[in-house]
Structure formats: structure tokens, C-alpha cells
Chains A and B, each alone.
Chain A
Amino acid sequence: MSTYIELLISGLVLGSIYALMSVGLTLIYGITKVLNYAQGSLFTLTAYLAFVFFSNFVSMNYFVVFFITLALMAVIGFVFEKIFIRPVRRLPGWDFTVIIVTLGTALLIDNLFLVIFGPLQKTLPRAFEGSLVLGAFRITKHNLFIIVAALLTIVILDRFLSKTRVGMSMRAVAQSSEGARIVGLDVDKVFGYSFATAGVLAGIAGILLTPRTLIYPLVGWPVFQKGLVVMVFGGLGSIKGTLYAAFILGMVEIIISYVFGARWALPVFIIILIVVLVFRPKGLAGRWQ
């Protein structure tokens, strides 16, 4: 019995990480129509940033570093859009070119880490050490923190998108960037904000997950791959569908890993994805246009 509960918790933890990753991806796609292949590199970037902070300012509080890193990620996301995406968007046929530009950026960033930090793995501290014992089963405090933090982030994101001015302008651009431009919104800035938001989301996922996996230059890549599948499974541009998909596939991955071994998770993902897309070509909750 306790094994199943522990599996359930692991599934929730994994689902939370996938949710953060793929909501970032789907947000960018929904608003800017860019498939961001560098999202995994932003994940890795956060992990290394946090590593640098933690190893240089040992006495600093965990949460101070946490929020400083996230603030930096917002700036980096904004600048990323300005440097790499905006010039390409002016060109004809940019929707394809931009994918390869983000892919090139991913190659650049990942190998930069290899040059700077070397291939050796680095460790990141956990938010809380130790574990809680509840009756028959136990849960590490960090895992609990991952789930709570991810859910809290999603709730805040939802409030941000529906209540704030910036959030509403992002949704307006998602519906029609032409229309948003006509009513006087600065679409370029909104694109920048959405990359900043996605940078923060990738950042939260990075800081939360890397204490468990260790940091190496390609750490974001497997998470990104699964994030892509989750995004398509849930339906491009739909945050609600992506959340469902993240937790479903998180559970599936844990069960598959438990029964067959971790390397079968991605093949099973792809099979599920193809089957779902045959019946629902736009994913679980994709918009039908």
C-alpha cells in the first residue's frame, strides 16, 4: 500500500515539474507562435545561476537566492526575446526559421556551460532537508515543497493572466496579435513579457528539480523533450489542457519506470501521444479553429 502512495507522490512531483515546463512552452507558443527549443536551456541556465549564487554566498537564505534567481530569469527571458527572436520575426517565413534559431541558441547555451563549468556534475541544495512521516508512508520535505510551489505558481500565473494589465495584454495578443496592435498594444513588449514569464516558469522548474538530478550541461534536455510531448498532448496554447496532460503523463512515467524501467517512459509517451492525436488532432484541449 505504502509503495503505491509513494508512487503517487512521485507522479505528482514529476507532473508538477512537467506542468511548469510545458506551461511555459505553451504560453510562448500561444502568444508568440514560437516553438521555443531553448526552453530546456533556460532550465539549465537557472540551475547554474542558482549554483553560482549558492556556492558564492553560502550564508544567504535559500529563499532569497530563489527569488533573486527568478528575477534574473525574468530579465534574461525578456532579453532573450529581444536579441534572438525579435530580429527573426521581421523576416518572411519566420515561423520556421525561428525554430532553428532557438535550436541554435540551445546549442550555444548548453555548450557554453560545458566550456565554463566543465562536464562534472554540480549539486544544488534542497529547500528543506529531511522528510515528513505520516502514518505508514514518508515524503521528503523537498518533494512536498515541489508540489506546493508548482501548484502555487500555476495559481499565481492564472491570476496574473486574468487580472493584471500585462497578463490581459498577453491574452489579447494570443487571440489576435493584429487586433492587439490595432487597439494600441505594444506587441513587441508583450512578446518580451511572455518570454520573461516562460523564463521564470522554466526557472522554478530548474531550481526545484536539479537538487534531485544534479546539474550537468544537458540537464534541461530530457525535461524539455517530455515537456514538448506534454504540450502537444494537452493541446497547443491551452494551459488547462497542458496541466491535465502534465499530471497524466507524470503518473504514466512513474508507473512505466516502476514496471519496465525509466528508459521506456519516452517511447510510451510517444505511443500515447500518437493514439490521442489520431482521435483528437489538436490534443486534449486544443483550440479548434
Chain B
Amino acid sequence: MAVNCNSTKKSIDNKNIFLWVALIALLVVAPFFFRDSRRVMHILTMCLIWGMVAESWNLILGYASVFSFGQLGFVAIGAYTSAMLSVHLGISPWIGLIAAGVAAGIVGALIGLPCLKLHGIYVGIVTFGISLVMPTLIVWGGQPGYKNLTGGTFGLAGLKAYQLFGFNLGSVKIRWYYTGLVLLAIVLYAIYKIIHSYVGLAFVSLRDSQTFAKSLGVNDYKYKIIVFSISACIAGIAGAFYAHYSRIIDPSILELDIFLLILVMVVLGGLGKFGGGVIGAFIITYINEILRPTGQYRYVILGALVIIVLTYVPSGIRGAIDKLAVKIKAGRT
């Protein structure tokens, strides 16, 4: 928890900086080992996308302590915004990416206005309900009378790939991977800046002592809406990238198993720990992939795994790493 405290910030950052440099180097080099395997490259790219979503969820769930269960709804809003702009108006996916972020951010703020007045679990159920309603709206928007705006149950297919410096990302997995990596880096940097800004400080104070922070004039409602909107915006961007990467977007993105998987990424990685979502995303996406041959049993095993891991590694992988670092340091001195 000390990671967020201003006084100890510097020393902790210095200690972890090698870890981060090593991780980033690993991510940059990884494709050179797997470049021939399209499957591995696909899994790695999906790790990056889910990492963005999980980290945005971590921001609202872990830092702002808002029980938001509607993050997949924002992913879907971003994905559909970009997809519809691309399919119906032929707008460049890059502009679509920005539009997706803006749209998801605005919807996030609009949903936040009534929701964030509520307390604890109430927010969770309302936001969860909103994401449950979205498939109905998407299918409705796909009726012929509305010019098949959203493609209904079958979704929108044949989305264009991004153009970058004259290269078409096309179906070259490695190009997608590096674009995703840059996007993830930007997202992580933005989140890092937010956490270590005035807004982040407000949340730490609210989390540690709500009454005291409020009496000093910290307006939690205002900050919650800001962070809720930013988190939605990031999720929307990730959704847009996902849609163009998989070239098709349909309502199955809002299904329950994806919801659970990403939630588990956040918690496993370490709730409220910077970078926890990304670590969780890599682990869970990988496990989900190796369980694929078990067929029907996959979700049974995954469910059991979730229960066991949450019961025995409660503070997440990032928490375990922090504890280990403290132990090593204590051993040295």
C-alpha cells in the first residue's frame, strides 16, 4: 500500500524500477522468440489488450475503491463506436480509436452522475445491470429498420486494419503486437500520472480516512466521476483496438465468462497495485489458453482455480512480489 504514499514514493519506485525495466525489455524482445508461431503472437497480443482493460478496471476498482462492474460495457461502447464509424462512414480506425475513447468517456461520466452518488455494493449492481442491458440494445440496433447500425447478434465484420507509417497492420501479428505494446505503454503512463497526481492523492486520502479527508474539503463525488470517466475512456480505447484486431465485433464481448476472467486478472494481479492488471492479464490469458484442450472442462477448472487462488493468494501476485521484496531487503540488512 505504501506505493501510493508520497513520502515513501521515491524509494519504492527506485527499488521497483529494475523490475519494470526488466519486464518491459522482456515484452519488447518476446516476439523474436515466437515470431514464427502465429498462435503465440495472438495470445501475447490478447494479453496486451486484456491488460489495458484490466488496468483501467484496476484504476476505478482498486484506487478509487468504486465497485464498478460495468467495465465491459465501456469496452463494448468503444469497440462499437470505432467499428460503426469504420464500417458505415469509412473513417480511419485511428480517428475511430480516439472517438471510441471520447464516446466511452462521455457515457462513463453520464452513467457516473447518478451511480456514484450511491454507496458500495449499490454501485456494483447498477453498473453490472447496465452492462447486462447492452446486448439487448446492440441487437435492437441491428434491426433492418435502423440500417443495421450495429449488425445485431452477428456483429459487424470485416473491420479495417490500422495504417502506420505506410504499413498496413493487416494480418501480420507482430505488427499488431508492437502497436498494442505502444498503446499499453501510453495507457500505463497515463494511469501512473493520474495515480501520482492531485487526483490520486485525493483517493489515497479518501481510502485511508474518509471522514478526515472529507472534512478537509476533498470532494469525493467529483473525483470519482473524473476517474470513472477516465477509466471508461481507457476501456473504450482498448475495445476499439480489440475490435479492429479481431476484425469482428459482436455482443459476445459482454458475456459472463469474459467478465469473470478480466475481474480475476485484476484481483489476481493485485487490486490497487500499479501494473497488477497487466500481470494478471498475462497469467490468466495464458492459463485460459493452455486449458483450451480440456474442452468442456475448461471453465470448471478455471472456476476452481479462481476459488483456490483467491483463497490462498489474497493480495495478488503484485502483493506477493512486494512482500518478497520487503523480505529480501530485511534479509540483507
Q: Which A residues fall within an 8 A CB radius of B?
A: 29, 35, 84, 87-88, 91-94, 96-97, 99-101, 103-112, 114-115, 221, 225, 228-229, 231-232, 236, 263-264, 266-267, 269-270, 273-274, 277-278, 281-283
Contact = CB atoms under 8 A, between A and B. Distances in A.
A269 B129 contact: yes
Given A97-B310, A277-B122, A115 B132 contact: no
A115 B133 contact: no
Contacts of A112: 300
A225 B132 contact: yes
Provide the main secondary structure of the chain A interface: helix
8 contacts: A92-B314, A101-B310, A107-B256, A107-B306, A108-B300, A274-B114, A278-B117, A281-B119
A100 B125 contact: no
A232 B271 CA distance: 25
Nearest to A118: B296
A136 to B, nearest CB: 35
B306 A87 contact: no
B119 A273 contact: no
Contacts, number: 121
A92 B313 CA distance: 11
Contact of A97 (B114, B117, B314): B314
Contact of B130 (A104, A270, A277): A270
Contact of B67 (A96, A105, A263): A96
Most A-side CB within 10 Å, residue of B122, B129, B136, B306: B129
Nearest to A97: B310
B119 A267 contact: no
B247 to A, nearest CB: 28
Most A-side CB within 10 Å, residue of B121, B130, B257: B121
B21 interface: no
B260 to A, nearest CB: 5
B137 interface: yes
A229 B125 contact: yes
A111 to B, nearest CB: 4
Nearest to B263: A100
B256 to A, nearest CB: 8
A236 B302 contact: no
B311 A88 contact: yes
Given A264-B136, A266-B129, A283-B122, 12 more contacts: A100-B264, A101-B307, A103-B263, A108-B303, A111-B300, A229-B125, A266-B136, A267-B133, A267-B136, A270-B126, A281-B117, A281-B122
Nearest to A236: B121
B128 interface: yes
Nearest to B300: A111
Contacts of A269: 129
Contact of A104 (B67, B117, B306): B306
B267 interface: yes
Contacts of A267: 133, 136-137
Contacts of A88: 310-311, 314
Contacts of B263: 100, 103
B118 interface: yes
B150 to A, nearest CB: 15
A225 to B, nearest CB: 6
A92 B297 CA distance: 31
Counting from the closest, the 10 A-B pairs by CB-CB distance are A108-B303, A104-B306, A107-B303, A111-B299, A91-B314, A270-B129, A267-B133, A111-B300, A104-B303, A232-B125
B307 A105 contact: yes
B126 A273 contact: yes
B141 interface: no
B306 A100 contact: yes
A115 B126 contact: no
Contact of A101 (B67, B133, B256, B311): B311
A232 B311 CA distance: 28
Interface string B167-203: 0000000000000000000000000000000000000
A281 B260 contact: no
A105 B109 CA distance: 33
Nearest to B129: A270
Interface string B215-226: 000000000000
Nearest to A275: B114
Contact of B114 (A100, A111, A277): A277
A88 B67 CA distance: 18
B260 A104 contact: yes
B304 interface: yes
Interface in B130-174: 130, 132-133, 136-137, 139
